[in-house]
Amino acid sequence: MNRHPRPGLALRAVTGLVGAALIGLSPAAEAAKVPSYAITKAKVITVSGAVIDNATVVLRDGVVVDVGPSVTIPKDARVIDGTGLTLTPGLIDAYSGAGMPAARPAGGGAGGGAAAAAPAPNPIAPASNIYERVRAADALKARDSGITTIVPVPREGLVFGAAAVMNLVGERPEGMVVKQNIALAASLTTLGQRYPGSLMGTMAFFRQALMDGAYHRAEMASYEKAPGGRRRPAFDPGLDVWADVASGALPLLLQTSRVGDLRRAFGLADEFKLKVVLAGNTQAFEEAALLKERKPSLLVSVNFDPPKAGGFFGGSDDDKDRAEIESAEKNPGALHKEGIRFALVSGFANDFLAGIRKAIEKGLPKDAALRAVTLTPAEILGVADRMGSIDKGKIANVVVWSGEPLTKEAKIKMVFVDGELYEPEEKPAGPPGGGPPRPGEVAGDVRAQIEVKR
Amino acid sequence: MRNNRYSALTAAAALAFAIATPALAADGPLVIAGARVVTVSGGVLENASIIIQNGRISSVGSGLTAPAGARIIDGKGKTVYPGLFDGLTYLGLAEVTQGAPGTVDMNETGDINPHAKAWVALHPDSELLPVARAFGITTALSAPGSAQGGQSLIAGQSAVIRTVGDTPMALTVKAPVAMHMRFPTGAPVIDFSQGFPNIEPKTFEQRVSERKKNQEKELLRLKGLLEEARAYGEGQAAGTQLKVDLPMEALALAAMGKIPVVMRVNAEADIKSAIKFAAENKIKLIVAGGAEAWRCTEELKKNDVAVLMGVDQLPTREGDPYDAAYANAATLHKAGVRFAIVTDDASNSRNLPFEAAMAHAFGLPRDAAIRAITLSPAEIFGVAPALGSIEPGKAATLIMANGDILDHRTSVTSVIIDGQETSLDNKHQRLYDKYKAR
Amino acid sequence: MKNPTFSKSALLFAALLASGFGIRAEAQDAVTAITNAKIMTVGPLGTIEKGTILIKAGKITAVGADVAVPPGATVIDAAGRVVTPGLIDAHSHTSIEDNVNECTNIVTAEVRVADVLDPKDINLYRELAGGLTAANVLHGSCNSIGGQNATIKLRYGAPSGDALLFQGAPPGIKFALGENPKRASFGGGARRYPATRMGVEVSIRNAFLEAKAYKKEWDDYEAAVKAASAKRPAKGAPAAALPPAPRKDLQMQALKEVLEGKRLVHAHSYRADEILMLINVANEMGFKIATFQHVLEGYKVATEIAKHGAGGSTFSDWWAYKEEAYDAIPYNAAIMASHGVLVSLNSDSDELARRLYWEAAKTVRYGGVSEDEAFKMVTLNPAKQLRIDKWVGSIEVGKDADLAIFRSHPFAPDTRVEMTLVDGKVLFDRSKDVAARKGVAATLGGGQ
């Protein structure tokens, strides 16, 4: 598909044509059209092993078929001279807003004078599939940042549904799915005017949901054993999902934004014997000792200055806000120094690369940063057997850089996803289009705070 | 037309800086005998007497002769102070602030209300007045634009009131006293009475830059209004201004420096901008709030800006010392900045001496603490010739207590306003009497 | 507390002590001695004009005028100062992360303040600086039956919210009557049930009728399980089939605990009518109210409150800030106390919580309460109301070393807290706080 979008009408026409041409083709059929590539004389950072200078990487049928200093180049392969270029595994953003609709403003508009907000999608949707909500064309823009794989997460809501690992390729979300239902994604957030409207309520909600899931499972099983003479229990796909989480069969991918959320999540995990993956954690270094002890699956956001609906009481504490941003920027470096394993994620930040660079600038070694956006997330997501490094047999997700990867000077020349070549357009400065600019870090319902507590 | 004439009258009053004569016909001569007298302006006199005639203090000291027919109040074991002066309240302007909007008259709608005048809306039978009075508050600045929900950029004009009187005029000691404004911080101003609005989440960088932009815009607007008002006032003085414009007529008082401008402002950067703005626009600034005034002592001192401050507050920044608000007054005192301690409240006005006590506990000398709730506000509002200390010639507005007025255990036993001993009866006492033995 | 992480917190707290948050680690057998102090014990020993307190392993081991300081003890010389029990705030929302209210339902008994405590909330430190050492952290007053409280010690800087929890304190729950649950005085928004005091009564009765049914369901189930296990089946015969367990409902569970007398009810209330209403509902449903909170018209029905056995936790003098506070009088505490109600003075505010000692002093002025009784209203009485007086509230041997050291008598107009100890650890030391100030902060108070 190697198309170079150009602004204007022509683009739409081209897209329309290509889209139409692909309708009805299975992913396999699409893949079949992908040519083979051999990138030669390049520096290859495999991440899993050594850095190989002057190496060749062969991509074919969507996989890395060979990598090394002396490999045979297949005859049908298109040869790309990689002199002066560096190859890394495709970046994995394991908590991404790419392809997800923008969040609505905070508050609830109960009687407010502001324009009515768009109706929200169901904020509690355990039985839904997140991948179905992905707008493929928007999501694909993340390739401009060298991202080949995402775990998309809605920017608002409480229980998002089944999370999927998706490769940024193709036209339709289902075709992008590498692995479906890796976890139930949810957030330790609040829903403002709707239950739960407080963090206390959110904790109670999760507890009750997990208990109800387990209860539902037991009830169903008991009915199956002896259905005669008993009222049929109601089918509830949502409770079924909670039952899977409660039994430990399905991990809970939980957004933990506050420092205290770590302990809250561990508390739930201990109480219900859950497997948890924790996403957000921009101040997690404060709990370094705890993290060393618990060794959780940790996704650390580079969204250092998330939007908040604050400051309207006139009493904003700029010192505090500034300090929080600075400590969030130092967080990845500090965690690394403590030997804590984590993946870096965009966490809805507009510019993932800028966030990674900031983390490097504030103390995260470059090689650690690269691992934190390739192999480590692949391991955490349970897909390290197929991606996360440039190794023979792995999915052909590869980024070709000029200049040193993840530095400000680096340019992304080519991005291979499932072996398919995408060449980002040379752009003037500014964040690449990583999706709409309103991350989901809304400040919850502040209504209660303005009420006299007396 | 009626409004018009009234405005003209008040403007004239402002020019004359007249202090209203006692509202009540004075009793015959009154003598407080043998008390400890904290004069505020002239030290503490032990076993002294105060002679009161025609509503004024005629003499203070020992060895005085009581005038013929004088009523004697025994001051033995008691301490006399000038009446307490709460330099920022909405006494008389609101009864029940939340949930009873019909009783609330302190915040006009709209943004520009220089022509709103506190003294026309004072409620003489507010239950809050006798309660404040019974605990020693004889005098207060009653001002529009309270901290509780005041949204106006320009809220209106304040009056110095006495806490006894049958009509708004009888309550009023001096008006207008000051123009009350909110210093624009650039932060969004939201009227929560209309429900909770949708607020778009923004990054810190966005919030800071938008605040700055809004502030510049609002200050430019305020500057424009002041310039317009000054031109209006000059035109009026020259007789060339024929058409009456109520807001401009009122704002001209402030723009031409005839009355000071009380600006609500708390953050360090905002206080400094307010000082700069006042200097540039030739207005006489008084800072209300001043939570971070301790960070701006140099600027405040240099520009002789007075501060009306509360004490019992939390620090504004997480990183500030825990006692930042408590020690704010002591910091200003040490730096020579003029200030008064105020409650910025109405029902809690009686706690004024306790706020002064907290300032005292955190470094403000005792006499300065008492001055901050008596003579200092009188000076700041230009009524010191008549109020704020116990001196011959001043109004006989004073209180007697059975102990240290800064001590929470002390009770006020007499309240004399303009030479009249006032009743200490109040709603709380009545309910106490009714229910204490039920 | 049903929170399973709770049992862990003892461990966590031990770790916290070892890590020496606050000041420094001390061996368990280290002794701290506070000497030369005027000691207001608020206990049987009354006020000791000049005495010594010994502290070991977080507990008070000796108090008196003639207590010898063992060699090697860390000595805090409190000459000229006044040592009191740490103050206790029976109504606080301090250190709650995110919303204080779960406002979306009429009954939210399932939510727990203990889930959302932030041990790094700077207000905990600021409150320590006012001599406060324990607080009843309550859910807000948005609904007729709110969430579960957390009784905490102000262990500022502790490693977790759990480490703030007061070990052994019985669990409680917030109720609210009047304007707040009926949302009367809040602008905008749709009217939510209840919108009247009538509706508040209905919502509480209804919740307890449900809770009684829930309790019966569980009681029956547990009885059946017990009966089944008692019936020993004949050898080889299958075990008796157990009935299916009822669904566990966290909301109903909390109310069941109220009915069982295991969970204390703290009822936000203002007017006399609603106070009587709740007493009647409680009597009908068979539960007790531990405290009426605010209870600003408690003085009108003090006899009835005393008869029910409820405590009253009130403001010293706030009034007229809303319609239902228009009849509030500062003599409330005095009248309730004189009628036999156990009275405390609370803050409901992170700011006021820093000067509760002066709130108590006002009660001497308003209604002539004795100084000793007045000071109890911020120490022993709230401890009793929260059922933690076994450990705190007075200076007695065996009690926790939760102490405040004042510059002068806590009611004096120049007083301030110089040092505060929790579990024998100095968590606030004014001299160190002042010495650590830098830059413009060092000029505060005129460099006093």
Whole-angstrom distance, CA of residue B55 vs CA of residue B393: 10
Alpha-helical segments (H) within A273-426: 288-294, 318-337, 352-361, 366-372, 375-380
At A4 the three-state DSSP class reads: coil
Q: By the CB < 8 Å criterion, does A234 face chain C?
A: no
Whole-angstrom distance, CA of residue B199 vs CA of residue C65: 62
Task: At C298, list the tokens.
Answer: 């408690």
Task: Assess whether C266 and C219 both reside in one domain.
Answer: yes
Taking CB atoms and an 8 Å limit, are C323 and B331 in contact across chains?
Answer: no
Phi and psi at B297, nearest 5°, equal -60, -40
**CB contacts, 8 Å: C325 with chain A:** 454
**If we measure between CA atoms, which residue out of B224, B6, B220, B32 comes closest to residue B117?**
B6
Taking CB atoms and an 8 Å limit, are C437 and B321 in contact across chains?
Answer: yes
- Across the interface, of B98, B331, B408, the residue whose CB is closest to C411 is B408
Taking CB atoms and an 8 Å limit, are C244 and A270 in contact across chains?
Answer: no
pLDDT tens column, C322-364: 999 999 999 999 999 999 999 999 999 999 999 999 999 999 9
- Return the higher-pLDDT residue of B11 and A68: A68
Looking up tokens 């301030």, which residue turns up?
C416
Residue A365: other Cβ atoms inside 10 A: 13
Tally of domains in chain C = 2
Alpha-carbon distance A369 to nearest alpha carbon in chain B (angstroms): 24
**If we measure between CA atoms, which residue out of B81, B93, B1, B89 comes closest to residue B41?**
B81
Reported ipTM: 0.93
Task: Assess whether C410 and C342 both reside in one domain.
Answer: no
Q: By the CB < 8 Å criterion, does A326 face chain B?
A: no
**CB contacts, 8 Å: A447 with chain B:** 196
Check residue A428 and give its pLDDT. 52
Phi and psi at B393, nearest 5°, equal 100, -25
Instruction: Say if residues B48 and B96 touch (Cβ distance below 8 Å).
Output: no
Taking CB atoms and an 8 Å limit, are A317 and B318 in contact across chains?
Answer: yes
Alpha-carbon distance B175 to nearest alpha carbon in chain C (angstroms): 27
- Across the interface, of A267, A445, A454, the residue whose CB is closest to C348 is A454
Taking CB atoms and an 8 Å limit, are A194 and C105 in contact across chains?
Answer: no
Q: By the CB < 8 Å criterion, does C409 face chain B?
A: no
Q: What is the mean pLDDT of residues C303-324?
A: 97
Q: By the CB < 8 Å criterion, does C174 face chain A?
A: no
Where among C347, C363, C385 does a domain terminate? C385
- Across the interface, of C108, C162, C190, the residue whose CB is closest to A201 is C108
Instruction: Say if residues A267 and A285 touch (Cβ distance below 8 Å).
Output: no
- Across the interface, of A111, A190, A290, the residue whose CB is closest to C98 is A190
Task: Assess whether C251 and C164 both reside in one domain.
Answer: yes
Instruction: Output the CA torsion B368→B370→B371→B376 (10° steps).
Output: 120
- Across the interface, of B196, B204, B266, the residue whose CB is closest to A107 is B196
The domain spans of chain A are 34-89+388-437+446-454, 91-101+120-307+316-387
Whole-angstrom distance, CA of residue C176 vs CA of residue C292: 9
Q: By the CB < 8 Å criterion, does B349 face chain C?
A: no
- Whole-angstrom CA distances from C273 to C270, C295, C328 are 9, 11, 14
Chosen from B194, B322, B350 to mutate, greatest number of chain C CBs within 10 A = B322
Residues with Cβ within 8 Å of B340's Cβ and at least 6 positions away in sequence, in order, are: B85, B87, B88, B306, B307, B308, B309, B372, B373, B376, B377, B380
- Across the interface, of A320, A442, A445, the residue whose CB is closest to B318 is A320
Task: Assess whether C380 and C399 both reside in one domain.
Answer: no
Instruction: Say if residues A284 and A327 touch (Cβ distance below 8 Å).
Output: no
- Across the interface, of B195, B335, B363, the residue whose CB is closest to C187 is B195
- Whole-angstrom CA distances from B311 to A61, A244, B315, B323 are 74, 56, 10, 10
The CATH-assigned architecture of domain B8-12+84-90+101-124+143-158+177-380 is Alpha-Beta Barrel (3.20)
pLDDT tens column, C147-169: 999 999 999 999 999 999 999 99
Instruction: Say if residues B280 and B264 touch (Cβ distance below 8 Å).
Output: no
C236 assigned to some structural domain: no
Whole-angstrom distance, CA of residue B404 vs CA of residue B396: 20
Please check the confidence at residue B6 and state whether its pLDDT lies above 60. no
| Confidence label for C28 from pLDDT (cuts 50, 70 and 90) | low
Q: By the CB < 8 Å criterion, does B15 face chain C?
A: no
- Those of residues 360-399 in C touching chain B at CB distance below 8 A are 361-362, 364-365, 367, 371
Query: In one letter, which amino acid is B25?
Result: A
Write out residues in chain A with pLDDT < 50, as ranges: 1-26, 28-29, 31, 107-117, 429-454
pLDDT tens column, C5-15: 333 333 333 33
| Topology annotation, domain A91-101+120-307+316-387 | TIM Barrel (3.20.20)
Chains with 3 or more CB pairs closer than 8 angstroms to A? B, C
Instruction: Output the CA torsion C338→C339→C342→C344 (10° steps).
Output: -50
Taking CB atoms and an 8 Å limit, are A112 and B207 in contact across chains?
Answer: no
Taking CB atoms and an 8 Å limit, are A197 and C102 in contact across chains?
Answer: yes
Query: In one letter, which amino acid is B220?
Result: L
Instruction: Say if residues A152 and A134 touch (Cβ distance below 8 Å).
Output: yes
Q: By the CB < 8 Å criterion, does A295 face chain B?
A: no
Task: Assess whether C292 and C426 both reside in one domain.
Answer: no
Task: Assess whether C305 and C375 both reside in one domain.
Answer: yes
Looking up tokens 């009714």, which residue turns up?
B434
What are the beta bridge partners of residue A50?
Answer: none
Query: In one letter, which amino acid is C193?
Result: Y
- Across the interface, of B185, B196, B203, the residue whose CB is closest to A314 is B185
Taking CB atoms and an 8 Å limit, are C444 and B331 in contact across chains?
Answer: yes
Please check the confidence at residue B266 and state whether its pLDDT lies above 70. yes
- Whole-angstrom CA distances from B282 to B237, B257, B272, C44 are 18, 7, 15, 66
Task: At B237, list the tokens.
Answer: 């003085």
Q: Which residue of C has its CA nearest to B413?
A: C365
| Confidence label for B8 from pLDDT (cuts 50, 70 and 90) | very low
Q: By the CB < 8 Å criterion, does B6 face chain C?
A: no
Q: Which residue of A has its CA nearest to B200?
A: A105
Whole-prediction pTM value? 0.91
**CB contacts, 8 Å: C367 with chain B:** 432, 436
Check residue A52 and give its pLDDT. 97
CATH of the domain at C27: 2.30.40.10
C211 assigned to some structural domain: yes
| Confidence label for B146 from pLDDT (cuts 50, 70 and 90) | confident
**If we measure between CA atoms, which residue out of B163, B136, B126, B78 comes closest to residue B354?**
B136
User: If you average pLDDT over every residue of chain B, what do you get?
Assistant: 92
Chains with 3 or more CB pairs closer than 8 angstroms to C? A, B
Domain of C428 in residue numbering reads as 4-86+393-433
What residue ranges in A36-112 does DSSP mark as E strands?
37-45, 51-60, 63-68, 78-81, 85-89, 91-96
Taking CB atoms and an 8 Å limit, are B201 and A115 in contact across chains?
Answer: no
**CB contacts, 8 Å: A305 with chain B:** 203-205
Task: Assess whether C100 and C248 both reside in one domain.
Answer: yes
Taking CB atoms and an 8 Å limit, are A203 and C115 in contact across chains?
Answer: yes
The CATH-assigned architecture of domain A34-89+388-437+446-454 is Roll (2.30)
| Confidence label for B192 from pLDDT (cuts 50, 70 and 90) | low
Phi and psi at A417, nearest 5°, equal -125, 125
CATH of the domain at C355: 3.20.20.140
Instruction: Say if residues C353 and C127 touch (Cβ distance below 8 Å).
Output: yes
Instruction: Say if residues B426 and B34 touch (Cβ distance below 8 Å).
Output: no
Residues with Cβ within 8 Å of B22's Cβ and at least 6 positions away in sequence, in order, are: B55, B395, B418, B419, B420
Cα angle vertex A445, ends A441, A449, to 5°? 120
Whole-angstrom distance, CA of residue A324 vs CA of residue A257: 12
Residue B302: other Cβ atoms inside 10 A: 12
Whole-angstrom distance, CA of residue B81 vs CA of residue C180: 41
Task: At B93, list the tokens.
Answer: 């302007």
- Those of residues 411-440 in A touching chain B at CB distance below 8 A are 438-439
Cα angle vertex B20, ends B17, B24, to 5°? 175
Q: By the CB < 8 Å criterion, does C161 face chain A?
A: yes
Strands B285-289 and B261-265, by their bridges, are: parallel
Residues with Cβ within 8 Å of B44's Cβ and at least 6 positions away in sequence, in order, are: B36, B37, B38
Task: Assess whether C72 and C187 both reside in one domain.
Answer: no
Check residue B201 and give its pLDDT. 87
| Confidence label for C239 from pLDDT (cuts 50, 70 and 90) | low
Q: Which residue of C has its CA nearest to B356?
A: C413
Task: Assess whether C11 and C140 both reside in one domain.
Answer: no
Q: Which residue of C has its CA nearest to A287?
A: C159
- Across the interface, of C184, C351, C358, the residue whose CB is closest to B99 is C184
Task: Assess whether C190 and C63 both reside in one domain.
Answer: no
- Those of residues 49-108 in B touching chain C at CB distance below 8 A are 95-100
Question: Residue C393, class by beta-carbon neighbours within 10 Å (0-12 exposed, 13-18 middle, 19+ buried)?
Answer: buried
Instruction: Say if residues C308 and C282 touch (Cβ distance below 8 Å).
Output: yes
